[in-house]
Structure 1
């Protein structure tokens, strides 16, 4: 059997219309109804018609959690199981759900509260850098404590996060082929989220975690783990910690993974993995049409 990892994308991968083809599947429709009862608003309504809302943190995160978890459940119903799971930022919540760490509704409740808190964070800035001088970036970051490496996505792509002034300074000092400010309200995955992270910790403390049925590679610690307490601790560090996706990708062959299936809209993660490690079979399940037979 081919050892397979399932990976789940986070904020930024959302697309208008995602998940709407799942409404014809009774089990999926039931999950969408369940989500509406928890959230107080309709995921399908926003995914179908509200592009502006879908791009807001408050709605993006629960919508992605619901759509990606439904796709994963439908794949499992067809007899497929992962040997390892990982998710990018928000995607880690779907990975933990799939690994059996918490119940689906508990995960959605966590994501709802996370989205509310992150949406309320203001005053920070994030920017993506493509094809840049990594050595120079590390030097400039070391000199600027108000900005950090938020996402180490691949050898050629990172996201920095911090105060607007500090982020602009780094963008002006580090030569990159492309440098794009991101449309987010706060400095996610940085020390500037500390207050929000403290509030979220109180919510996280109320949720019981189980040991994972398959190993989970966490954003803040790429080495796979199954222990409930370790996974919870890693998740609590995630809001202020860096997303070490490049290292997660490099860990895959070391853990005998031969195939990676990205579950969710777009193909961001398979694209990033391809830049970090070769010789892996890469597949995408973005919609009902791409579900395995």
Structure 2
């Protein structure tokens, strides 16, 4: 029988209209009501807003968490479960929920505060680079103060983060097929967001984590872990640390994973994994139709 990993996308995978096919399900109605009590706004309304409110960090992260955790529970209702979980940036919170580390409400409160702090972080910028020489990029980052590798997505795609000057210098000096600045409020996954990370640490420390029911590969340390203290420590480092997604992808075959299911809107993560690991079966569950067609 195939061993399956569930992976959860983060900011950038959202789209206007996501979750629209879920809203009338009894489980979804109950979940959206709980979310409205916590957030003081409606997830379905934000997701359906034609002015793309869902792409504002303040809304993006809670909306993704609510939609993705709902998809997790719909899959579980049908008897499915993973052997391993991982999430990309914000998606790691859904992975922790899927692994039973905290309940829905606790996770949403963490995500809400994370989104608030990150939305307020106006220092620095981020940029995506595609099609580059990895050694040249690593050398340039090492020689340039104020910039770090924020997302190591796959061998041909990364995101850098830092001061405006440092990021622009890398974009100008490292040859790539494409380099584009991201529409985000600050230099996420870099030391520039350390003040927000310190404030979030106080929130995180007050939350009790349970041991994970299945191993989780964390962004800052892509080795499997279930210990609650380890998972919390890794999550605490995540806001300023790198998303090591390429290494997470490479770890999956070593864990005897045969199939990877991206649970959430879009197909960003399966696209990244496809370019890193050729032998894995990939599937996407981001809509009700995909839930109902899912075969394990």
Could you say which TM-score interval applies, normalised by the shorter chain?
A: over 0.9
* Distance change >3 Å, CA 51–CA 226, structure 1 → 2: farther
Give 1:50 deviation, angstroms. 4.3
For residue 187 of structure 1, what is the aligned residue in structure 2? 187
Residue 21 of structure 1 aligns to a residue in which SS? Answer: coil
2 CA distance for matches of 1:281 and 1:257? 9
2 CA distance for matches of 1:17 and 1:110? 24
Residue 109 of structure 2 aligns to a residue in which SS? Answer: helix
1 CA distance for matches of 2:13 and 2:134? 25
Where in structure 2 are the equivalents of 1:93-108 lying within 5 Å?
A: 93-108=93-108
- Asked if the contact 2:3–2:256 (Cα under 8 Å) also holds between the matched residues in 1, the reply is yes
Deviation readout 1:162-204 (Å, 9 max, x if unpaired): 0000000000000000001000010000010111100000000
Residue 22 of structure 2 aligns to a residue in which SS? Answer: helix
Residue 17 of structure 2 aligns to a residue in which SS? Answer: coil
For residue 62 of structure 1, what is the aligned residue in structure 2? 62
Where in structure 2 are the equivalents of 1:1-80 lying within 5 Å?
A: 1-80=1-80
For residue 81 of structure 2, what is the aligned residue in structure 1? 81
1 CA distance for matches of 2:72 and 2:281? 18
Residue 270 of structure 2 aligns to a residue in which SS? Answer: helix
More moved, 197-206 vs 23-32: 23-32
Where in structure 2 are the equivalents of 1:65-214 lying within 5 Å?
A: 65-214=65-214
- TM-score normalised according to structure 1 size: 0.99
- Asked if the contact 2:148–2:190 (Cα under 8 Å) also holds between the matched residues in 1, the reply is yes
Residue 150 of structure 2 aligns to a residue in which SS? Answer: strand
2 CA distance for matches of 1:112 and 1:85? 22
Give 1:123 deviation, angstroms. 2.1
Where in structure 2 are the equivalents of 1:220-239 lying within 5 Å?
A: 220-239=220-239
- Asked if the contact 2:8–2:95 (Cα under 8 Å) also holds between the matched residues in 1, the reply is yes
RMSD: 0.7
Unpaired segments of 5 or more residues in structure 2?
none
- TM-score normalised according to structure 2 size: 0.98
